[in-house]
Structure 1
Amino acid sequence: MMKLSFIGAGSMAEAMISGITQKKLIDQKNIFVTNRSDELKLSILQKKYGIQTSYHMEEILDQADIVVLAVKPKDAEDALLAIRPYIHSTTLFISVLAGISLTYIESILNCPIIRAMPNTSAAIGKSATAISYNNKVSDEQLNITINLLSSIGNTTVVEEEKLDAITGLSGSGPAYIYYIVEAMEQSAHEIGLEKSVAKNLIIQTLLGAAEMLTTSEKSPADLRKAVTSPGGTTEAGIRVLDNNQVKQAFIHCIKEAALQSKRLAQLNQTSQK
């Protein structure tokens, strides 16, 4: 039976654990998790998902088939050095850290390495995940990873240089949508709608729009124009968005997130020297 170990117990690790356990791809007794010092979080995860937790690195990593690194990027070096004595040449190592390159990880670990950029929608099996890998990854390990990550959403294999852009677009993407919903909820309150009514309307609106984008052959611009009647309410709202350069702000937002991923990579390369 495959053993899967997580180093880090934050939101991304939990999202993946949630998706994997819901799909029953790996038995909970063979999923191990640790973090730096948050015992309460480990206790919550253990009770919620029936997984195993420990602060003994040997217990976490002994005979692990797959190790997932899910700490903050700034803690990458410390985490990699801590687990290095327990990683074997055949251990499949998966990093979900933004901006931490394969080359950097290879400088510390000598094993098959896959970089993955999922998002937190993994918790409900709806993640958009991109992966790249080094030349030590076997076809079997690649297929295992794709199968594992596909259980929490869609998985696409890309060249590593595209991962920074994907980080900015879909890795951080759910937060951008939640940001829009925050604004919609606030506006609903200010125009006199009850919170429960507004929430249902907003969620259904998002679901409907996503389904239209999925099933329609029309472009997003054409779909928008189809709703925007001359002199109508939608046109009035869109005019405000255009006047406030909201589209440009979102473009800049995604570009900045992608640049930050590159900065993190450069920072780690500099600290390694």
Structure 2
Amino acid sequence: MKIGFIGAGSMGSLLVGAFVRAGVMQPDDIVISSRTSSKLTTLADQYPGLQIARSNRDAANGAEYLFLCVKPMDFRCVLDEISSVLTPNQIVISITSPVKISSLEELLPCKIVKIIPSVVNAVGSGASLFMWGSRLTEEDQTTLWNLFSAISQPITILEDEVRVASDLSSCGPAFLACLLEQFIDAAVMSTGMERETATSLACEMMLGTARLMLEEPCSPSELQAKVSVPGGITAAALDVLRKSTRGAFLQVLYTTHQKFADDLDRVDSSLSPRERT
């Protein structure tokens, strides 16, 4: 089997490593291309047997599965380069949310699926967001689902939901890390606690909180009620926290959605049929 990757940036490299460590891909099956040769060399050193393609066409040619791990505005160039070597039986996996499935199906002859990973997939955790193209068979869908199940919890969403779903699943780790960093900073500044100790405590808390909410299960409001009692320390602190952060995430989502809308317009224009060469 040949599995192609175009793009060896943060997410392309993350997926290669996660799939290999999970045992669902062998380095000998992987062929990868990138504009940055140093990233390819690093991956080849980490995973002996992994093959470096001379071009994007070489990575795409004959690949049973082809992962497109490139920036939205790079798609036009990449698609123009690889479209002539793709066949109807191949499956192209796009991990780039502003690139529409309909655009890819119009420009490429093969089967298309959009799957948005998360940085936490690197440790076999978190979700992966699935949006199916029209040409995939039920067998194709099952195979892809099982592949990503080895590194994540696959969840099917509507393509119209990709922005808010990505906010929760893919951007969410950065948002929570930002809040956690402020929590750790406050502990260090207010008490003199060693940063390493505060960080360990905060990370264990975060991991345990997620497990409790998923495994018990327990909703966010139920968890707050479990920890706090009326008139207690936690209740008083939660009141301060709610007042300080009220509306913050609405502003966060407004920002991400506006940026996504801008990106969508730019990508649609770049992939417009009138620009075909």
The reply to whether TM is greater than 0.5 is yes
Given residue 213 of structure 2, which amino acid in structure 1 is its aligned partner? L
Aligned to 1:226: 226
Shift in Å, 1:218: 3.7
Aligned to 1:89: 88
SS in 2 for 1:172: helix
Q: Is the 8 A contact 2:7 2:70 kept in 1?
A: yes
Aligned to 2:40: 42
Shift in Å, 1:262: 3.8
Inter-partner Cα distance in structure 1 for 2:168 and 2:261: 13
Which 5+ residue runs of structure 2 have no aligned equivalent?
none
Given residue 39 of structure 2, which amino acid in structure 1 is its aligned partner? K
RMSD of aligned C-alpha atoms? 1.8
Aligned to 1:184: 183
SS in 1 for 2:247: helix
Residues 97-140 of structure 1: per-residue CA shift (max 9 Å, x gap): 02111112123212100011111111111130111122211222
Give the paired residue count: 270
Q: Is the 8 A contact 2:62 2:86 kept in 1?
A: no
Matches within 5 A, 1:132-211: 132-191=131-190, 192-211=192-211
State the identity %. 25
Shift in Å, 1:90: 1.4
TM-score (norm 1): 0.91
Shift in Å, 1:255: 4.6
Inter-partner Cα distance in structure 1 for 2:57 and 2:72: 23
Q: Is the 8 A contact 2:32 2:53 kept in 1?
A: yes
Shift in Å, 1:13: 1.1
Q: Is the 8 A contact 1:8 1:35 kept in 2?
A: yes
TM-score (norm 2): 0.90
Moved more, 261-270 or 89-98: 261-270
Aligned to 1:240: 240
Change over 3 Å in CA distance of 1:251–1:201 after alignment to 2: same
Q: Is the 8 A contact 2:72 2:96 kept in 1?
A: yes
Matches within 5 A, 1:14-33: 14-33=13-32
Residues 2-57 of structure 1: per-residue CA shift (max 9 Å, x gap): 21111111111122112110121121111111112x11111111111232223333
Q: Is the 8 A contact 1:119 1:171 kept in 2?
A: yes
Residues 164-221 of structure 1: per-residue CA shift (max 9 Å, x gap): 2212221212111221222122222212110221121011111111121012344211
Given residue 45 of structure 2, which amino acid in structure 1 is its aligned partner? K
Inter-partner Cα distance in structure 2 for 1:21 and 1:141: 20
SS in 2 for 1:71: coil
SS in 1 for 2:127: strand
Which 5+ residue runs of structure 1 have no aligned equivalent?
none
Q: Is the 8 A contact 1:18 1:123 kept in 2?
A: yes
SS in 2 for 1:129: strand
Q: Is the 8 A contact 2:4 2:63 kept in 1?
A: yes
